[in-house]
A and B are shown apart, each in its own frame.
Chain A
Amino acid sequence: MVSELSETAGNLQIWRVDVSTQTVIRQPVPESWAILGGRGLIARILLDEVLPTCEPLGEFNKLLFCPGLLVGHMLTSCDRISIGGKSPLTGGVKEANAGGTTGLEMTSLGIKALIIENLPSQAGWWVLHLSSAGGRFIPADELVGLGVYDSANKLRERYGRKAAIALIGPAGEMKLSAAGIQNLDKDGVPSRIAARGGLGAVMGSKGLKAIVFDATGCSKPPIAHPQAFKDAQKRYTKATLEHPQSIVYRDFGTAAIVRMSDSFGALPARNFSSGHFEAVEQISGETMRQTILDRGGEGEPTHACMPGCVIRCSNVYVNADGKPIVAPLEYETIGLMGSNLGIGDLDVIARLNWEANDLGLDSIDTGAALGVAAEARLMAFGDGARALQLLAEVRQGTPLGRILGSGAAMTGKVFGIMRVPVTKGQAMASYEPRAVKGTGVTYATSPQGADHTAGLTIRDKVNHLDPAGQAALSRTKQINMAGYDTLGACIFAGFGFSLVPDVIATLLNARYDWSVGTDILQVLGKEALKLEREFNRRAGFTPAQDRLPEYMTKEQLPPLNPVFDVPAEDLDNVFNW
């Protein structure tokens, strides 16, 4: 049913969707929301409109899609979409962002924020179709139970190959807490996942299998000062191309981090029982690149997920016949579904990655859950075939499958395992916190739970094993990253921005006719964190949740044998600036 809608006049608006009445209305952007985007805007809307004590899968939670402030103009590596809500996994604020085309299409449609409210008034699954004509709900019966890849193919056949699509897989339909929301990359492959914290389950609770963003006939939002924007864009693109790290990511992807992490004794192996994996050379970025090149065919060691990105850190990983197994194959999955499971074979890891993608599951929490399952003797470490069987149980919706698809914390609880690598209920990423203590501080204190993109510290020239100074380092990173997440910038956009730091303010002022200062990244980051912390406080969080699991403070991690010993007072001071 098409709703009555007003002219957009080229400016951004709030699009509000009520799934109980299946109506879509457009509203002006409130003053206090205009200065924010992405992660900061999600925190603002949650605090303004969502009861912090609400049931995450209930009627009072809202599912939010907010492009970042710089999104919409194909600035390299700056078109990310932030998706948010109250997390069914952590019970707190959640923002998960992804590359792909959703951000760009949304801003061309003129959407500042998409707010999805209430619960469906009848059973069933729907596709929400958004275009310049407004929004309509289309029954999605033929997609129910289908994996993400098949669903995306059918949706693209029906709605065209240019639309952006956000969709859930069987895991989201089952409302499992490790379910994410997949987005199409620029080639139409549905593998750019907003993975962390169970937002796929929230989308499932709203009865939505997919959201189609069709910006046909629309154009990019207007820029207030186009020449100034263009000049700043040129400087930023040049800086990004010139930064030495861009080349490493272009050629090796995030998999470049495998050997680096292992060199610090920080690559999680066998359910985080060691920071070194003996088969590290078989699963390294260097090996991955060489394998792709040797196999040829459709393999690509260099690949852009967003149109216009000059870094191109993504890849297409192929089998011995040159046919794609999965795209991309990333560091986190190589860690959590590889070394963490004692699996030293990229082909096996790629297969597991594809299954997680098709189910619409976060590969980090799923890999961590399988690691806990291995410790519970549900599988042997190293048994890739058995890991695939366990993922098949998720697809079938068996009780065991549902447990695993609910993430590592749930799996540990049900099977009586103490060594569960989670904080605030969310699984840690592929950096062992005992060996990279600054990142451990981020895991412990981030309002997002154990989240590596919230504040990674491994590349800093510090002694990662010394507890002193790690809280201050994490603070700086968390502020900067919350800022980038509010801009819609990829973590790697930081390379370019670091060489021309004034460019962020210049771009924003040119785009919106603002006069923000060169500290705007930190201003936005601090605001986002402040809002998130307040939401969590009202949701019932206390400093007790800003801690790592007890066993990590007591048990030494081979090979360097540290424990996590950053003092509690340091953890409690991270947000005092």
Chain B
Amino acid sequence: MNITIFLHTTLQRHTPNNTVGKLAIDLPSGSTLANLLKRLEIELDVENTLLVVNGRTAELSQPLSDGDQVHLIPAISGGMAVMEA
């Protein structure tokens, strides 16, 4: 399956010239987002990264399909979720 990955901001530093924002990758069918992250040789702090597939927030277990667009967005907001009302 052909998957397009968009790397945001500081994640681009793991690529040549620090500026590659878009990668194409070929994965076996049935691969999940977790499989994809393993394939990318990029050190990822999953806890502090927004994983977005075709415009929707995704879990690591999410299965991927041919043509999917994956965005990896480092660092979440100031852990506002910690401050529960």
Contact = CB atoms under 8 A, between A and B. Distances in A.
B82 interface: yes
B12 A522 contact: no
A464 B21 CA distance: 24
Given A251-B9, A559-B55, A286 B21 contact: yes
Given A479-B85, A480-B83, A264 B55 contact: yes
B57 A248 contact: no
Nearest to A475: B85
Contacts of B77: 245, 456, 458-460, 494-495
B41 interface: no
A435 to B, nearest CB: 8
B74 interface: yes
B34 to A, nearest CB: 15
Nearest to A259: B8
Contacts of B82: 498, 501
Contacts of A264: 52, 55-56
B76 interface: yes
B79 interface: yes
Contact of A494 (B8, B52, B56, B80): B80
A244 B9 contact: no
Given A494-B80, A495-B79, A522 B73 contact: no
Contacts of B74: 244, 248
Contacts, number: 112
A247 B8 CA distance: 13
B84 A465 contact: no
Given A244-B45, A286-B21, A480-B85, A498 B9 contact: no
B29 interface: no
Contacts of B31: none
B85 A476 contact: yes
- Please report whether the interface of chain A is mostly helix, strand, loop or mixed according to DSSP: helix
B78 A243 contact: yes
B25 to A, nearest CB: 17
Contacts of B48: 244-245
A522 B57 contact: no
B50 interface: yes
B8 A256 contact: yes
Interface string A237-265: 00000011101100110001001100111
Given A245-B78, A498-B83, A522-B83, A286 B9 contact: yes
A497 interface: yes
Contacts of B83: 476, 480, 497-498, 501, 521-522
By CB atoms of chain A within 10 A, which of B50, B76, B82, B83 has the most?
Answer: B83
Given A264-B52, A462-B57, A498 B8 contact: no
A463 interface: yes
Given A263-B71, A285-B9, A461 B55 contact: no
Given A243-B78, A245-B77, A245-B78, A465 B56 contact: yes
A133 B6 CA distance: 58
Nearest to B84: A476
B19 A251 contact: no
A259 B78 CA distance: 19
Contacts of A494: 77-80
A245 B75 contact: yes
Contact of B73 (A263, A281, A463, A559): A263
A290 interface: yes
Interface residues of B, number: 28
Contacts of B79: 243, 494-495, 498-499
B81 interface: yes
B47 to A, nearest CB: 9
Contacts of A497: 78, 83
Contacts of B19: 286, 290
Contacts of A263: 6, 8, 52, 55, 71, 73
Contacts of A259: 6, 8, 21, 71, 73
A60 interface: no
Contacts of B75: 243-245, 247-248
B76 A459 contact: yes
Contact of A463 (B56, B76, B81): B56
A501 B83 CA distance: 8
Nearest to A266: B55
A264 B57 CA distance: 8
Contact of B57 (A251, A463, A499): A463
A145 B19 CA distance: 45
Contacts of A492: 78
A265 B55 contact: yes
Nearest to A492: B78
A462 B9 CA distance: 21
Interface string A534-577: 00000000000000000000000001100000000000000001
B12 A260 contact: no
Contacts of B80: 459-460, 476-477, 480, 494, 498
Contacts of B55: 263-265, 435, 465, 559-560
Nearest to A285: B9
A365 B76 CA distance: 27
A399 B55 CA distance: 42
Interface in A473-488: 475-477, 479-480
* A-B residue pairs, 3 tightest by C-beta: A494-B78, A498-B79, A459-B77
Given A244-B74, A465-B55, 19 more contacts: A244-B48, A248-B9, A252-B9, A256-B8, A256-B9, A263-B52, A265-B55, A285-B9, A286-B8, A290-B19, A456-B77, A458-B77, A459-B76, A480-B83, A493-B78, A496-B78, A498-B78, A560-B55, A577-B85
Interface of B: 6, 8-10, 12, 19, 21, 45, 48, 50, 52, 55-57, 71, 73-85
19 contacts: A244-B48, A244-B75, A247-B10, A248-B10, A252-B9, A259-B71, A260-B8, A263-B73, A264-B55, A281-B21, A286-B9, A286-B19, A458-B77, A459-B77, A465-B56, A480-B83, A494-B78, A497-B78, A499-B79
